[in-house]
Structure 1
Amino acid sequence: MEAIQKIAVIGGGGRTGKYIVDQLLQKGFSLRLLLRNPNTFTIQDPLIEIIHGDVLDEKIVNVLIEGCQAVISTVGQRKDEPLVASRGAKNVISAIQKQQISAGKVRYILLAGLNVDTLFDKKSPETQKATAWMKETFPAIHEDRQKSYAILEASDVDWTLVRVPCIEFSDEKGNVKVDPEDCPGSKISAGDIARFMIGQLMDNTYLRQAPFIAGF
């Protein structure tokens, strides 16, 4: 894979995404951010290029990812709006595949809840309970997230789907535990999520896998 210099960030204006943007800037990466409401985005830095648009727009996603060596997404479902997970993943994968024809592999790292199921899971009763609650309470959102995982699996892209429990919106640095089969805790800070996701840029340990992470 080509050395990572420019990273496309989807969801960078959100509560978790802002931690990722801050940490990427501290590491000196050039960023291209996809923002639906750029006027409300307050982080100012010459390393940031803003693309105004939506991950549901295939043409905009192609523009976003062109020239980037990695994509990090924390986009979540928006209340009373079209389902975003599967269509967004499909658009990103399509754009990555076009990019890879001439420019080599593109790393794709994205965030999801612990309710996403894989064939490799050995979920504890606690994680099963949380998963069942999500399925019962938000069936359409859960199904869409599950569909996005199937889209990832069927692709030839170098992806990692990071599954997390309850997010605490702080930069608190905890003792993060990673488990490929079950969620190892009930919460994690947004700062620790950012550190883990950014760490995957140059780490193939969880390539084409969906690890759980939690802080404790």
Structure 2
Amino acid sequence: MKIAVFGGTGRVGHKVIKQALTEGFLVKALVRDVQKASLELKGAELIEGNARNKVDIERTLQGCDLVFSSLNTDKTDTLSVAMPHLVETMIKENVTRIISIGTAGILNSRLEAGKYRFESKESKRTTTFAAEEHLKVLQTLQKSNLDWTIICPTYLPDGPMEREPRWEIDYLPAGGKKITVDDTALFAFNEIKNPRFSRKRVGICY
């Protein structure tokens, strides 16, 4: 299997790439700086470009079987710009499966029915920009016929694998406070290998 990766130099993305390469998967990653990324992503096929550019997305997807995205917002609208291009290109290239890293903010609220967590009292965030960008990704994927999964970790500190995370479809498991980057990457990679959550959001935490 050959995986097209977007956001591969990010905290979760590069861990997923390393796991994939270790287990014999082929990886093709879109990066902004090939020279810099090549030091971190040895063994991956690197495409220099920008996820906001449809042509660069097309170049990355060619010859791939599955998409993994851990693009983040970086206080820009990259997510909401890139995802429609990505969906359109996946359909064109007949790639049906995408696993994306989202945020717990776009899971359903336990306290206020009909609201997302970022809209409710459950959210501790003072700004909703990132969650709104991730929500646009969810809405774009929901409108498509693609086989998608959005993995939604809560507070995401750097750190090694600690233990098996708890998970719940559409909600963050009750009392969840955090999950490390390494455990999030492992959960995502396991979903690449053994899909369980077709067209679902999955909240993960300890």
TM-score computed with the length of structure 1 as normaliser: 0.84
Deviations 1:166-185 (A, max 9, x none): 11212223121110132121
CA–CA distance in 2 between the matches of 1:166 and 1:156? 30
Which of 75, 91, 96 aligns to 1:106? It is 96
Cα root mean square deviation, aligned: 1.9
Q: 1:130 to 1:76 in 2, by over 3 A?
A: farther
Which of 187, 190, 196 aligns to 1:199? It is 190
Which of 103, 121, 135 aligns to 1:129? It is 121
TM-score computed with the length of structure 2 as normaliser: 0.87
Indicate conservation of the 8 Å contact 1:16/1:169, yes or no.
no
1:43 corresponds to 2:40: yes
1:156 corresponds to 2:145: yes
CA–CA distance in 2 between the matches of 1:200 and 1:89? 20
Shift of 1:130: 4.4
Question: Which residues of structure 2 form unaligned runs of 5+?
Answer: none
1:177 corresponds to 2:166: yes
Indicate conservation of the 8 Å contact 1:124/1:182, yes or no.
no
Write the letter of the residue equivalent to 1:72.
Answer: F
Write the letter of the residue equivalent to 1:171.
Answer: P
Q: Which residue of 2 aligns with 1:83?
A: 77
CA–CA distance in 1 between the matches of 2:170 and 2:199? 14
Write the letter of the residue equivalent to 2:160.
Answer: D
Q: Which residue of 2 aligns with 1:208?
A: 199
Which of 60, 63, 67 aligns to 1:67? It is 63
Shift of 1:146: 1.3
Of 28-37 and 198-207, more deviation after overlay is shown by: 198-207
Deviations 1:61-118 (A, max 9, x none): 0110111111111110114xx3022222111111110011xxxx4310001111114x
Q: 1:192 to 1:64 in 2, by over 3 A?
A: same
Q: Which residue of 1 aligns with 2:180?
A: 189
Identity of aligned residues (%): 23
Write the letter of the residue equivalent to 1:68.
Answer: C
Q: Which residue of 1 aligns with 2:106?
A: 116
Indicate conservation of the 8 Å contact 1:68/1:106, yes or no.
no
Indicate conservation of the 8 Å contact 1:123/1:181, yes or no.
no
CA–CA distance in 2 between the matches of 1:129 and 1:23? 37
CA–CA distance in 2 between the matches of 1:45 and 1:36? 16
Indicate conservation of the 8 Å contact 2:103/2:131, yes or no.
no
